[in-house]
Amino acid sequence: MPTPRIFESEYRFCQILWEREPVKSTELVKLCREKLGWSKATTYTVIKRLSERGVVKSENAVVSSLISRQEAENARIDALVEDTFGGSLPAFVAAFSRHKKLGAAELDALRKLIEEAED
């Protein structure tokens, strides 16, 4: 089953959750107010939306994640490459390297990744 898509504001919420889970929803409301400027209603709406999509669960007012930070990051990268570069990893790398000069260590790391992928 593919990882559900998590949008930017939802991802910021998940970062707070991953740092403290499991966490009571009332505590999440306080944290989201402090860190994101969200109202109580916004926080509960995001919890509900993410629960419906299978990203988090809320049982007895305690919220925890159903997907890991790594799974979410992988899905975000996949979506970026798909949406922006038509799923082409070489197009992504070409665009990235045109905008940022790669040093020798970074080039070596990329070569190593390619060699590992070939094995």
The residue-averaged pLDDT of 62-90 equals 92
Residue, of 118 and 34, whose pLDDT is higher: 34
pTM of the model: 0.78
**Structural domains in the chain (count):** 2
Same domain, 24 and 63: yes
Domain range for 97 is 88-119
C-alpha distance from residue 72 to each of 2, 10, 41, 102, 110 (Å):
10, 11, 24, 26, 23
The CATH number assigned to the domain holding 65 equals 1.10.10.10
Same domain, 12 and 64: yes
* Contact by Cβ (8 Å): 17, 25: no
CA distance 31 to 17: 9
CA distance 51 to 101: 41
Same domain, 14 and 49: yes
> Is the predicted pLDDT of residue 68 greater than 80, yes or no?
yes
The residue-averaged pLDDT of 51-75 equals 95
Domain-located, residue 77: no
Query: Per residue in 15-60, pLDDT tens?
Result: 999 999 999 999 999 999 999 999 999 999 999 999 999 999 999 9
CB pairs under 8 A, 24+ apart, for 64-71?
A: 64/17, 64/21, 64/22, 64/23, 65/14, 65/17, 65/18, 65/21, 67/3, 67/4, 68/18, 69/14, 69/15, 69/18, 71/3
Alpha helices (runs of H) in the chain, residue ranges in sequence order = 8-20, 25-36, 40-52, 69-85, 89-99, 104-118
